[in-house]
């Protein structure tokens, strides 16, 4: 995926979900001889978009124009890349997406996705336990679940109160 592709995805999401007040787009790119570093979109101005390395102490940032075309990169990564972190992040995102859409138990979704992922031993070590994952995802699911009504009283609109005869 290029910066341009990332920009197009971001524009598409913002177009179809205008109600989003704040939007964080995570972008994964290969830099420095096929090493994978996680970078994310930071601020956007009228002419530039700033991308920052996910490793807080690293300090590498990339500038692109609004169309996603590369302008410059500032700094060098002071840490090694870990492709397993990217794999785990993508797996967690996939699980979270299913959890928010489906009513299947979180543990079952966790187990199914772990089996389907067929990931390396290094990535397996980075995956949170099912207990940690279930705790965090339960909170996300609860936020999306509608509130149970406190009363069964409701008004029937006039249109539905009369019959045709």
List, for residues 76-90, the tens digit of each pLDDT value. Answer: 776 667 778 888 888
Matching residue, tokens 């290029």: 2
For residue 148, pLDDT beyond 60: yes
72-97 as b/e, with b when 16 or more CB fall inside 10 Å? Answer: eeeeebeeebbbbbbbbbebbeebbe
Predicted confidence at residue 86, as pLDDT, reads: 80
Share of the chain above pLDDT 70, in %: 69
- Average pLDDT (142-156) is 83
The pTM assigned to this predicted structure is 0.54
Q: Is residue 98 very low, low, confident or very high in pLDDT (cuts 50, 70, 90)?
A: very high
- Of 16-20, 69-73, 131-135, 151-155, the range with the lowest mean pLDDT is 16-20
Question: What is the predicted pLDDT for the residue at 30?
Answer: 40
Helix (H, G, I), strand (E, B) or coil at 24: coil
């Amino acid at each position: 995926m290029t910066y341009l592709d990332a920009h197009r995805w971001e524009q598409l999401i913002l177009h179809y979900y205008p109600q989003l007040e704040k939007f964080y787009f995570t972008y994964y790119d290969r830099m420095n001889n096929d090493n994978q570093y996680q970078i994310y979109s930071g601020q956007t101005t009228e002419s530039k978009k700033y991308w920052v390395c996910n490793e807080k102490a690293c300090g590498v940032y990339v500038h692109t124009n609004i169309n996603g075309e590369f302008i410059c990169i500032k700094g060098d990564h002071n840490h090694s890349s870990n492709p397993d972190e990217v794999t785990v992040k993508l797996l967690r995102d996939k699980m979270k997406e299913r959890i928010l859409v489906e009513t299947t138990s979180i543990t079952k979704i966790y187990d199914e996705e772990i089996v389907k992922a067929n990931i390396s031993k290094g990535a397996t070590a980075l995956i949170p336990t099912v207990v940690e994952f279930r705790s965090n995802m339960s909170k996300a699911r609860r936020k999306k679940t509608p509130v149970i009504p406190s009363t069964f009283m409701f008004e029937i609109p006039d249109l539905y109160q009369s019959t045709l005869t």
